[in-house]
A and B are shown apart, each in its own frame.
Chain A
Amino acid sequence: MEDIKAYIESGILELYVLGDITPEEKLQVEMMASKHSAIKAELDEIERSMELFAEDNAVEPPAHLRDRVLNSILTNFGDDSTFTTNSEQYKNNIVAMPAAKTSNFYQYAFAACLTLLLVSVIALISLYNRLQQSNIQIAALQSDKQRFANAVSLKEGELEVLQDASFKFLKLQGTPKAPQSQVTVAWSPAKKKVWIDMRSMKMPVNDKEHQYQLWALVKGKPVDLGVFDKNADITDMKEMKSIALADNFAVTLEPRGGSPAPTMDEMMVIGKF
């Protein structure tokens, strides 16, 4: 009890009421007041007397200040959390907001990109195929061109033979073995060139094991001038091995690749200049 009295007498309660006190002391006073009713009562007395003191020294503020102060509170805090009295009428006033339009721009853009990529890939494959086709065509055309060039050069060769006065033409007539056969040989002793005309050739078609072989008889001796096939598809002139001197020309049927010496039994045609 003495302690409480001393505590009251210390003047700390007055300082508490005047707010001139540290936060720790403040907590202590509040704790003491809640424990001891005497301190609480003393505190209340001090508060009342200070309140009366203030009332006694009251100064009426200017009349215009009332509106200013109230308005500043009402306008500054005039949202619906400031006053609860009017909130009832707003409670059923909640309107569902339309769902926010989420922008699908990036989804669409991504889809567009994928589509574009797909179209591009397809176009690329298609173009690649066409390029391949074109290349094949170009290769075909080139081989055609080559073939035509060859044909032209061959024809030029033929034409040369036909136009060249030095060439002599000799029709080799069929032997009794093949009386219908006929081979035309063109020979230029000056140029040592021998051609045979495949177009006008009349010979039985040879099999795959055999080939015709052209011979020149020079002073009774057979000289090989090369082999050829009778084929309906071959219609041009064929240049054979060269020879400067010849008495006779003859064609025998020999095993494929030719023989060193003619098989006389198989002589098909023979002719003499």
Chain B
Amino acid sequence: MMSGMKHYKETADYINKMYNRQSQLDESLADQMRESEKIADATSQWRLMWRKFKRNRIAVVGGIVVLLFYLVALFGDFIAPYTLEQRMTRYSYLPPQRVYFFAGGRFQPHVYALETGRDPITLQRTYVPNPDKRIPIRFFVEGAPYKLFGLIPARRHLFGVEEGIISLFGTDGQGRDMFSRIIKGSQISLTIGLVGVALSLLIGAVLGVASGYYGGWVDNVVQRLIEIVRSFPPIPLWMALTAALPQHWSPLLIYFTITVILSLIGWTWLARQLRGKVLALREEDFIMAARLAGASDRWIIFKHLIPATFSHIIVISTLSMPSMILAESSLSFLGLGLRPPLTSWGVLLQQAQNTQVLLLYPWLMLPGVFVALSILAFNFMGDGLRDAADPYTV
């Protein structure tokens, strides 16, 4: 009996001990795993890329500008002091107004009231600021109604004036505020890039990866298709396609069709790049291993190949954004893309293409500056991303 009890205690002790040891071991193992995960995390490709990207000053500035542009576009209706429909015909062809920030030593942003008239000889509109009559700029001022994000009805604008006009970038012939129009234009110009790139990404990624992975006749067909598409000069092709658009379509539909048309040509570059990448990857050991383990093609493509080319896809899409924006602008500039009442930078530029603007109203060409700015920003950012995408090379 005694010996029986003792034996039992011994066994229990032993089990306890073993258990403690095991849990200690487990804990240390878990610790180890956590540790290694931490290390792996710290040096993951994304982190490395981010680290490298951050070091590239110009790329960061580009990125910030891009972000800023999109933010302004997102809140455009709120930031713009006027809506697209507001015509202040009393102030047609008003040059950009000067804003004064201090009045009597106090911070009090204001513009001067304008005396309007016509030059007796040239009959040109004249606007003489009257320094004695200050019009204060108010913030969160009530203005024309609009719908924020196209949904929420609102009346408050970021800034505005209660009388007269505030026009930072001047007005056009119908007295429409260029500042507001440029902001509204950015909504279309910038999203057309985004949507267009997304679409071409979809086509390009699927066809490019398939072409590289399967090889053989699939590769042949896709590559010949790319060659055919690429052998067309893009502008005439776009012209033909946009000219075929039925005129009674709603502006929104036209907008989407044009995006589709733009991406129909934009995908080829992406597909080529991805094919090359996949061609190299599919010979790698891990793909071979997956295949030997009996993984299906779908599994390999979606679990291994696409994630492996992800950094490339991002870089390529960033770099093709400017060409999309440019394509929209040039098509609209030629009068083939978007048309009023849709307002994009290209549409604004199209309206500025006459001698009067060149000689008398140069501020109407400001949208061009914004096209250039956005393209530069995207290019800088894209370059930075490209350098960062391959973090292991120096």
Chain A bound to chain B: no
List residues of chain B with CB under 8 Å of any chain A CB: none
